[in-house]
Structure 1
Amino acid sequence: MAGPEIVGLALAVPSFLETLVHTGQDLSVRISAARNPRLMTGDLSAFTTRSAQLLAQWTVGNQLCNSSRIDAAIQSALDRDFIDIQTRILEATQYVAQVEKYGRLRRFWVADRPRKALEESTRGLERVVRQFEDTVKAVEASERLPANVFLSADVFQWVGNDISEVADRVCIRKGCLTRGYHKAKPKIGLFLRESRPYGGFSPARVQDIEDDIKFLAKNLTTAVEAMGILDLVGYRNNLDTEDFELIFDVKSDLEPRGVLRAFMASTESLSLSGRVEMCIQLADAVFQVHKLHLVHKNINSGNTIVMSNSEAADSALRIFLVNWQLVRKATNATTMQGETQWWRQIYQHPTRHLELAEVEYSMGHDIYSLGVCMIELLLWKPLVIQPSIDDPPVVSPMFISEAAKLGFEVDATPQDNWLAPRDIQKVLVALAKSAIPFAAGDILTELVVSCLTVLENGFGEALVINDDPVETGLNFVGAVKDRLAQLCI
C-alpha cells in the first residue's frame, strides 16, 4: 500500500487489493530475511504461495459486501476482518523495520519489544486471513447448496421459432422468464440455450446426464458474469426434443456478435490494447471456471461468443465461454476420452489427441487451450476458418505457412494428412515465437509460450507452485491474468 490509509472492503478497488497482496508479499519476504534467531512469527506464506487465490478471495469478499442478497451481519464481519488485515500488515511493517535495524547491529536483546510485537501482529494476521477465507467459503457454499436450478414450464418458456445457431448445440433465441431466478430478472427477451440430447439412452444413463447437468447448473449459478460467464438461469427438460437445456440470460444491453472465430475473420483487427483486453477477459473466464474447481475441457475460439455492450460509451466488446457439455469437477475421475477431430485438436494438448487420451484432463490442459486462443487474439487471426456453423472448418493459411517452415505439409481440409500431436504443438510454439513479437511484443510472447508448454515445463516461478494441483492451476491462471492486466495499454 502506498500509505497508512485503511479502506473498507466494499470500497476496495481491484488495484488496491493487488497492492495489498504485494505489500503482504514484501512483508513475508522481509520477515524471512530478518536475522534474528529469537523470531517466531505467524505463518504468512499465503501471501507468497497462494497470492492469486488470496486475491480471488478478497475480490469475492468485495462482491459479497456490495450484494443486496448477503446478510448485513456477514458483510460487517467480512469488512471488520479486511480492516484488521490492513491494520496488522501496517503494524507488522513498522515492527519488522525495527527488527531489521537491530538485527543488522546484532543487538537482538534490544529488539525484544518490537520482536514480540511483530510476533503478535503476524500471528493475528495469519488468523484473520484464514478467518476471512473461511467466511467467504462458507457463504459460497451456502449460496450453492439451496439453489433450485430446475426451470418448470410455469417459470420459463420459449417464445416464437426464431433461432440463431452460434455453436454446436448452442443457440440464442427469445424466451419468457415469469419470475426472478437467481441473478436473472423476469423478462421476455434473449436467452442462450445449450442442449444435451438424451434420446435413445437407457433410463439410468438419462439420470446420469441429468445429475451432471444439475451439478454444473448449481456451480454456474455462483459464477460471476463479469468474468466471462453468462448468468445461468437454470436448466429444463425439453420432452419434445428429448434433451436437457441449460438456459443463460443474455442481458438487454448485450448484442450478440457471433463466435470469436468468425468475428475475428470478418472484422478489422482491434488495437493492441483491445486485443490484450480480450485476452484478459478470456483468462478471467478460465480463472472463474477453475475457481469453481471445474475444468472446461473445450476452450477454443469456436466456443467463445462475442457480444457488444450497447450501453457502454465505446460499445465495449465482451467475450463469454459457452458449450459447457464437457465440464467436470477438477478432481473427478475422467473417461479418458480424447479428441480426434483436427479442428479441435489444434486447441488440445498433444496428450489428449488419441481416441483414448494418454493422461487425465487437468487444469493444465485448459491453460494450454487458453494459450492457443491468445495466439489468435493477439494476431487477430483464427487458426480455424469457419465463417458460420454450417460451413466446414478449414485450416488457416497462417498455420499452414508456419507448418511448412518446419517441414510439415498440411492440407487446408486435412483428412488422413494431418500432423502428429506433438508436431501441432511445435507449430503453435513456433508461430507464437515468430509472429507475436511483432504484433504484441516479447513479454506477451513469453506468456503465450509458457501457457503452451505448461505441462512440459511446469507452472513456472516458485510463487505459483503448490502440492495441490487444483490450487497450483488456479494460481497459474491468476498469475497469467495479473500479468496481462499489468501490460494492458
Structure 2
Amino acid sequence: MEVALGIAGLALAAPTVVKTCFNLVDALMQKVEKNKSLRSHAERLKAFEIKTGRSKLKQDMKLGEAILKDPTVEQNDKACLEAVFDDAMKTLKEMDVTVDTILQNCDNFLSRKRRVALAKFTEQSRALDTTTNRFHDIVISQTLVQISESNNNVSLLKDFDFTIIGPLEDWKPLNKSAFIHKGRLTRSLKDIPAGTGEFVIESRAYKAATRDWVKTNLRFLAQRLAAAQLAEGILPLVGCREDSVRQEFQLAFCANSYAASAQTLQLLYCEKKTLPTLNFRLGLCANLAEAILHVHTLGLVHKNIRPENVLIASNDNCESNKVFLLGWKYARKAFDAPTVREGEPSTERKIYQHPHRQVEIADEDYCMGHDIYSLGVCMLEILAWAPLISSTEAGETSFNEDFKSGFKNRGLAKDKDEVNPAWLKGQHPRNVQRVLQDMAADKLPYLAGTRMAEVVASCLGCLESEEGRGGDANFRGRNPKEVGADFVDSVLKHTRSVAGAI
C-alpha cells in the first residue's frame, strides 16, 4: 500500500511521475498474478504489461508533461489534461485497495465481500481503460495542434529521394485514386527508415491551368500531415511528389506493416457478409472517430469520409484492426480556405454528405460539422453492418432494403411497393437525412444499444441545432483545439465507454 498512498496528489508534471506510476502498476500486477480469479477479470490491465503498451503510456505521460509546461497552451486545456490524469491515478489507487480485499477473502469462495470486490475490480478495470484512452487522445490532440501550428515547410520529393519500383501492373488498387506499390526511400525521414518498402500512393490530376493551385494546396496538406506521425488513423507521410508524365501530384504514405492485409471498408462489407461481433463494430467506430478527431486537430477538414476511403488493416504484431483514412486529395484547412463551394454530384458519394453539400453549388463553406455528419452515416452502416449503397455484378447501383423501407414508412413512395429512384439518389437531400435518422432510431438500439443510437443521431443532427454536441456555431469560427476537445468528450468518449462496458 505504500506505493499507492505515495501517488496520492502526484502531479503529472512531477519529475518522478512516470517511475512512481509504473511502480504502482508493477505492485498491482504482482498481486493480481497471485489470484486466478483476478487474472480472468484483469484483461484491461494487459496494456500495462505488454512492452508496446507500456511504451505508449510512457510516451503519453512525457508528452503530457511537456504540454503542462508549454506557456502557449490554454489553462483550460491543461486543467482538462490534469483532471483525466488524476482520474487514472485515483482509479489505480482504488484498484490496489480492492485487490487487497479480494486477497484477504480468497479462502472463502462464497464470501459476499469477495464477490462485491471482484465486481468492483472489473468495473475499475473498465474505468481505467477508458480513462487512459481518453488521456492518450487529449495528449495527442494537443501535441498535434502545437506541431501543426509551426511553420515547417515541406519540399516536393525528388526522384533521388523516393522512387516507385516496378511496372504499373504491380500496383494494388485500394480505390479509384489510391494504390499500394513498392518503392524506395533513399534517406530516412523522421521515423520512416530508408530502403525498399510498401507505400500507399494517392494521386490528384492537374491541367496546365490548375497545376500551381493544386501544388500549393497539396504542399500545405503535406505540411499538416507530416505533423501527424503520432496520430492514429493517419499513415506516416513520406511526402508529396509530381509525376509530370501522368500530369498528377502524388502523396506517398508508408504502409510497410499493413500492406499485405490492407483493404477498404467498402470491400470488407462485401467479404464479411455476416454481422461481426459488437466489439469489432464498436472498435471500427472508435478508430474512425479518432482518425477524424486528429484530422480536425490538425486544422483540416477531410471532405471525403465514406467506406471507400476508410482503410482497414492489421499489423503483423497486433491482433486488432487498424483504421486509416484515404481520400486526402480534396482535404483542406478548416478555416478561411479559398473554395468554389462545389457540391457532390455522384450518388455513391453524396449519400454520405450533409444536405448542405448535396447541391451543385453549396450556400456555405465546408466545415468540421459536415465531416461529423459523414462520420455518423459511416457509423450507422458499421453498427448495422449494412452499406446504404453498393454495386451489383452488372455495375448497377443497389440500395439497402432498410433505406428503401425508410422512404416508404415516411410515405415517400409512388405506391405501396415502389420508391421513386430520384429520392433514393438524393433529389431531396433532407428526406435522405430524415430516413437515416429514422434508421438510427429504429435499428441501432437492438443492434448496438440505445447509447450508440444516440451518438449516431447526434452526428446526423450536428448542424441542425445550436445546442448539445452539435450545433452549427460549434463548428465555425472556433480553433481546432476546442473542436478536438469537444469531439473527444462526445462521440469518441461515448463510443469507447460503450465498448469498455462489454
State the TM-score, normalized to the length of structure 1: 0.70
Cα deviation, residue 10, structure 1: 10
Partner Cα distance (2:153, 2:81) in 1: 37
Cα distance change of structure 1 residues 476 and 7 upon mapping to structure 2, 3 Å threshold: closer
- Note the 1:354-393 alignment, pairs <5 A: 354-386=359-391, 391=395, 393=397
The alignment covers a number of residue pairs equal to: 391
Contact 1:395 1:413 in 2 (8 A): no
Cα distance change of structure 1 residues 409 and 308 upon mapping to structure 2, 3 Å threshold: farther
Per-residue CA deviations over 1:335-378 (Å, capped at 9, x if unaligned) read 11111211111111111111011222111101100000000111
Matched letter for residue 401 of structure 1: S
Question: 1:164 aligned to 168, 172, 176, which one?
Answer: 172
Partner Cα distance (2:377, 2:354) in 1: 10
Question: 1:442 aligned to 436, 446, 450, which one?
Answer: 450
Question: Which stretch of structure 1 is more off in the superposition, 391-400 or 452-461?
Answer: 391-400
Cα deviation, residue 483, structure 1: 1.4
Question: 1:239 aligned to 244, 262, 273, which one?
Answer: 244
Aligned to 1:318: 322
- Note the 1:2-151 alignment, pairs <5 A: 3-7=8-12, 63=60, 65=62, 77=69, 140=147, 144-151=150-157
Structure 1 residue runs of 5 or longer lacking an equivalent are: 17-58, 68-72, 91-131
Partner Cα distance (1:86, 1:358) in 2: 36
Contact 1:363 1:470 in 2 (8 A): no
Matched letter for residue 484 of structure 2: L
Aligned to 2:348: 343
Cα distance change of structure 1 residues 243 and 89 upon mapping to structure 2, 3 Å threshold: closer
**Alignment pair present for 1:423 and 2:454:** no
Cα distance change of structure 1 residues 476 and 406 upon mapping to structure 2, 3 Å threshold: farther
Cα deviation, residue 166, structure 1: 1.1
**Alignment pair present for 1:280 and 2:275:** no
| Corresponding residue SS for 2:202 | strand
Q: CA RMSD in A?
A: 4.1
Structure 2 residue runs of 5 or longer lacking an equivalent are: 22-55, 85-138
Contact 1:375 1:448 in 2 (8 A): yes
Question: 2:186 aligned to 175, 178, 185, which one?
Answer: 178
Partner Cα distance (1:343, 1:380) in 2: 17
Partner Cα distance (2:16, 2:370) in 1: 36
State the TM-score, normalized to the length of structure 2: 0.68
Cα distance change of structure 1 residues 435 and 358 upon mapping to structure 2, 3 Å threshold: same
**Alignment pair present for 1:400 and 2:404:** yes
**Alignment pair present for 1:456 and 2:464:** yes
Cα deviation, residue 155, structure 1: 1.2
**Alignment pair present for 1:298 and 2:308:** no
Cα deviation, residue 242, structure 1: 1.2
Cα distance change of structure 1 residues 340 and 393 upon mapping to structure 2, 3 Å threshold: same
Matched letter for residue 325 of structure 2: L
**Alignment pair present for 1:477 and 2:487:** yes
Question: 1:206 aligned to 207, 211, 217, which one?
Answer: 211
Contact 2:462 2:469 in 1 (8 A): no
Cα deviation, residue 176, structure 1: 1.0
Aligned to 1:218: 223
Per-residue CA deviations over 1:192-230 (Å, capped at 9, x if unaligned) read 11111114x32xx21111000100000001114542111
Contact 2:264 2:307 in 1 (8 A): yes
Contact 1:300 1:369 in 2 (8 A): yes
Cα distance change of structure 1 residues 417 and 468 upon mapping to structure 2, 3 Å threshold: closer
Cα distance change of structure 1 residues 6 and 185 upon mapping to structure 2, 3 Å threshold: same
Cα distance change of structure 1 residues 272 and 157 upon mapping to structure 2, 3 Å threshold: same
Cα distance change of structure 1 residues 403 and 266 upon mapping to structure 2, 3 Å threshold: farther
**Alignment pair present for 1:309 and 2:315:** yes
Partner Cα distance (1:88, 1:303) in 2: 35
Q: Percent identity?
A: 29
Per-residue CA deviations over 1:16-56 (Å, capped at 9, x if unaligned) read 9xxxxxxxxxxxxxxxxxxxxxxxxxxxxxxxxxxxxxxxx
Contact 2:185 2:196 in 1 (8 A): yes
